[in-house]
Amino acid sequence: MITIKGVKKNYGNTSVLKGIDATISKGDFITLVGASGAGKSTLLHLIAGLDTSTDGSIKFNGISLEDMTKSDLNTFRNSHVGLVFQFHNLLPELTALENTTLPKWIGGSMDDQAKARALELLELLGIADRADHLPSELSGGEQQRVALARALMNEPEILLADEPTGNLDSANAQAVHELLINLNEKFGQTIVVVTHNEALASLGNRHWKMTDGSLLQS
């Protein structure tokens, strides 16, 4: 699905990624660990097309992200990539249901079918009864579930999560772990997770470790 070849990323004179080679196949559940500043989030952002590499290439189903325009990348992310971050980034004036349907709004395909899809996702994640609540009325764990539902709204080919349990207590973190396992094992969702959480890091079928801008794989 994704081929990463010779990817480097520099910020000024600082080399963050030092020539990364890797592949991501359909159905992979990859956990990415490493010390703060090792380049984990940078690599995730490059895979998502949120940033551009200094050198090398990232190809998604044979198409180079480096060749895409900014508009192409926006369409690519909305159609093919689900993103979850440590901070939920929900719009405070929208309900859980409305936040979940945002990718459809952005794509210009908001309709009753989209609302039904959103409700199915909230049901799958165990918070359908909170669909009409604003983020301020939800717990941290519930907000992260809404963020996860939003990321899955357009049935992405890959789910990229950057410290998805970093702001959660142990009980809510465990619940998110179980949801990710369920998505991967029952629905075949391809997942890459950046994490410092040891329990989450042990879950994947593939394990990556970033050390000083270099990638170790197992």
Q: Is the dihedral of CA 168, 173, 175, 177 positive or negative?
A: positive
pLDDT of residue 186: 87
| pTM of the entire predicted model | 0.90
d(CA 84, CA 146): 10
d(CA 182, CA 177): 9
Report domain extents, the chain: 2-210
Q: Are 90 and 144 in contact (CB under 8 A)?
A: no
The domain defined by 2-210 folds into: Rossmann fold (3.40.50)
Say which amino acid occupies 72. Answer: D
Per-residue pLDDT of the chain (218 residues; tens, 9 = 90+): 999 999 999 999 999 999 999 999 999 999 999 988 889 999 999 999 999 999 999 999 999 998 999 889 988 888 899 999 878 789 999 999 999 999 888 767 667 888 899 999 999 889 999 999 999 999 988 998 999 999 999 999 999 999 888 888 888 888 888 889 999 998 899 999 999 888 888 888 999 999 989 999 88
